[in-house]
Amino acid sequence: MTIRFFSKSTRYSDFSNFANYPIEIDGIVWPTSEHYYQAQKFDAPERQARIRELPKAAAAKRYAKKYRAEIAKDWDGRKDAVIERALRAKFTQHRSLRALLVGSGDEKIEEDSAKDFYWGTGADGTGQNKLGTMLMQLRAELQSSAAGADTTGAAFLSWLGPLRRFAEIGIAGYPREVRIRLAIINVMALLIAATSMTYVATYASFGVAKYWPLIAVNLALVTVALLSPLAHRINDCAAMIVIWVAEYAALFFFVRELGHNSGIQLNYIIGAAVAFAICGLGHIRLVVAAVLSGLALHLAAWFLYPPESARIEADVALLANLYVSSAVTTFGIVALVVGYALTKADRARAEADRLLANILPGPVIERLKQDPATRIADAVPDASVLFTDLVGFTALSKELGAARTVEILDGLVTEFDRLAAEHGVEKIKTIGDGYMAVAGVSRRQTDHCQRLARLALALPKVVARLSEAHDVDLRIRIGIASGPVMAGVIGADKFSYDVWGETVNFAARLESHSLPGEIQVSAEVREALDGGFLMTERGPISIKGVGTRETWFLIEEASSGSTARPDGAAPRTSP
């Protein structure tokens, strides 16, 4: 299948540069890819700014055409690079578009523009199709980078082996979960075709002249099953409906010809079971229709076609063969469907647990599992709290733009999370470019202060490494306090686990009053760490809402056997 886009009515119309998907490049947001493309034709900043202000992509194109005399002389030599950059921004900054492009498989992509023989295929199909080619190249790159991310779908399709090609017919462009379901439908259609051919052989062995109506209907089923994947072009339910109608009608015909002693009506039970497994609750009306119609046809076949009403006087051996095969198939498939449903439920439960673990500490999750109605509200007599903040990052983010800001913060927080898990510390939340973590709250930890201290010493190294990697000046402030805290789960919608109390407020103040690159700790923390870590005294400082307090800067963990603390040493000012 070839994917053609241009008209707004097609499924892939969002591939067009005119589609309303803003992109950000070099900190500047453009309403569409077309706006960016047209603006780059001009060297004059005022022309670019005017194009960016235009509400529609078509207006941007008309504006550029109006001032085509001012188009840069080197435009033809760099327009491909401009489009390539715009496409990359568009399909990486919008997840839905990325999924649509990656999900298109290996289908050929063409811009179906009758007038454009460069970016499109032109009226006669002889155009260069540059835009389609770039999209296919970008798709290959994104598919490669996503290798391993789509583990469920990839594992399923890989397991199919030689059947994979047939399983993938017509599924391109659908979301991941839908693609898996459609692939299952395709495999089911292939199995129907295969079993129908075995019945053709069976009937033929008992006499073609006698059983030709059954042979003909089975061959018709083979044809319908093999062509059913083409119905995916209509919608994600069309092929399933085609298969059900054809299969239900054929089964009823077989019982009419052979009588209900053949047991063929048992296969209606399969239709009901498969309906739930494939369609699920997302298409409950279709499932109900399949179940009720299957039940009605099963009962009708039993009462309408007793043995004496059979149109074909079948061989006893054939009837026995048909009954046994129908019973075995029905029990086998129902067992497989139940097993599949239980496996899927287990996976869903595991996924829910994984997501819950990203919100709540493990011990809290276990308490809620034991008693979902319990209120999590704990008073912890002794714990440690850490706050961090990136110095001047708010101002820096304005220069970086949304895309780079998120990229840097994501890398930073991901590394912080890894280190927190490594040190047995509980992350509570991020606040802008700030990070909050605790130790000794959800579970008892006698060394909670030491755990946070080791984490704090590791964080500036991460900041320094990412600062160099992204060529930006990042510096971090850190504050740690120890003492009593309160913790609990709050909220019903987007609930969260949080920590409160004077110790929390003090830790936040220690961070805000610290120096860039320094880890400022309270007297309680100094006392808990005494002998195991090197510190330098900062002296008394006045903290709003707290008063005057003695504080220290944490320098490093002491070497084995060392208890020295270089009080009075000058504090560092960079990470």
Could you tell me which residues are beta bridge partners of residue 430? 435
Q: Is 50 exceeded by the pLDDT of residue 566?
A: no
The residue ranking higher by pLDDT, 11 or 470, is 470
Strand pairing of 23-25 and 533-543? unpaired
| Burial of 440 per CB tally in 10 Å (0-12, 13-18, 19+) | buried
Q: Is 80 exceeded by the pLDDT of residue 149?
A: no
Question: CA 365, CA 356: separation in Å to the nearest integer?
Answer: 8
Q: Is 80 exceeded by the pLDDT of residue 451?
A: yes
The string of DSSP letters for 489-544 reads EE-SSS-EEEEESHHHHHHHHHHHTS-TT-EEE-HHHHHHHTTTEEEEEEEEEEET
Check residue 415 and give its pLDDT. Answer: 92
Q: Is 50 exceeded by the pLDDT of residue 570?
A: no
Question: CA 213, CA 199: separation in Å to the nearest integer?
Answer: 12
Task: Pick the closest to residue 111 from 142, 78, 134 (CA basis).
Answer: 134
Average pLDDT, rounded, for the chain: 87
Answer whether 276's CB lies under 8 Å from 295's CB: no
Lowest average pLDDT, out of 116-120, 169-173, 531-535, goes to 169-173
Q: Is 60 exceeded by the pLDDT of residue 575?
A: no
H runs (alpha helix) in 361-501: 362-370, 393-422, 448-469
Check residue 365 and give its pLDDT. Answer: 80
Question: CA 311, CA 320: separation in Å to the nearest integer?
Answer: 17
Give Cβ neighbours of residue 76 (< 8 Å, ≥ 6 apart): none
H or E stretch covering 108: strand 108-111
Mean pLDDT within 288-309: 94
Which residue in this structure is represented by tokens 């595991």?
A: 350
Check residue 573 and give its pLDDT. Answer: 39
Structure tokens at 186: 């395709």
Structure tokens at 69: 């005399």
The residue ranking higher by pLDDT, 85 or 281, is 85
Radius of gyration over alpha carbons of the chain, in Å? 34
pLDDT category of residue 145 using cuts at 50, 70 and 90: low
How far CA 250 is from CA of 20, 47, 223, in Å, comes to 48, 68, 13
pLDDT category of residue 562 using cuts at 50, 70 and 90: very low
Question: CA 67, CA 85: separation in Å to the nearest integer?
Answer: 23
Q: Is 60 exceeded by the pLDDT of residue 565?
A: no
Task: Pick the closest to residue 391 from 340, 336, 434, 438 (CA basis).
Answer: 434
Mean pLDDT within 10-27: 87
Mean pLDDT within 124-144: 89
What ranges make up the beta strands (E) of 286-416?
377-390
Crossing angle of helices 267-279 and 238-258, rounded to 10°: 170
Answer whether 25's CB lies under 8 Å from 85's CB: yes
Which residue in this structure is represented by tokens 């990839």?
A: 154
- Give, in degrees to the nearest 5, the angle at Cα 379 between 378 and 384: 105
pLDDT category of residue 241 using cuts at 50, 70 and 90: very high
Coil/strand/helix, residue 384: strand
Task: Pick the closest to residue 191 from 222, 168, 213, 145 (CA basis).
Answer: 222
Mean pLDDT within 469-488: 93
Query: What is the distance of C-alpha 309 from the center of its chain?
Result: 56
The residue ranking higher by pLDDT, 364 or 269, is 269
551 phi and psi angles, rounded to 5 deg: -135, 160
Domain ranges of the chain: 2-149, 160-354, 375-557
Task: Pick the closest to residue 416 from 426, 401, 407, 406 (CA basis).
Answer: 426
Check residue 162 and give its pLDDT. Answer: 63
- For CA atoms 131, 132, 137, 143, give the dihedral sign: positive
Lowest average pLDDT, out of 185-194, 271-280, 500-509, goes to 271-280
Answer whether 14's CB lies under 8 Å from 7's CB: no
Lowest average pLDDT, out of 101-115, 361-375, 414-428, goes to 361-375
Class of domain 375-557: alpha beta
Check residue 470 and give its pLDDT. Answer: 86
Check residue 522 and give its pLDDT. Answer: 94
Mean pLDDT within 186-192: 89
Question: CA 174, CA 180: separation in Å to the nearest integer?
Answer: 9
Check residue 156 and give its pLDDT. Answer: 52
Model pLDDT for residues 20-64, shown as the tens digit of each residue: 899 988 878 899 999 999 999 999 999 999 999 998 999 999 999
Model pLDDT for residues 89-125, shown as the tens digit of each residue: 999 888 778 888 887 878 899 999 889 999 999 988 8
Decide if 2-149 and 375-557 have a common fold.
no
Report the percentage of the chain scoring pLDDT > 70.
93
Mean pLDDT within 227-239: 89
Question: CA 292, CA 268: separation in Å to the nearest integer?
Answer: 10
pLDDT category of residue 537 using cuts at 50, 70 and 90: very high
Lowest average pLDDT, out of 230-234, 348-352, 473-477, goes to 348-352
The residue ranking higher by pLDDT, 542 or 454, is 454
Check residue 280 and give its pLDDT. Answer: 72
Class of domain 2-149: mainly alpha
Q: Is 90 exceeded by the pLDDT of residue 533?
A: yes
Lowest average pLDDT, out of 69-83, 381-395, 400-414, 472-486, goes to 400-414
The residue ranking higher by pLDDT, 295 or 169, is 295
Check residue 272 and give its pLDDT. Answer: 83
Lowest average pLDDT, out of 6-10, 359-363, 521-525, goes to 6-10
Question: CA 301, CA 327: separation in Å to the nearest integer?
Answer: 16
Mean pLDDT within 538-560: 85
Model pLDDT for residues 196-230, shown as the tens digit of each residue: 999 999 999 999 999 999 999 999 999 999 999 99
Q: Is 80 exceeded by the pLDDT of residue 129?
A: yes
How far CA 190 is from CA of 26, 222, 325, in Å, comes to 51, 8, 18
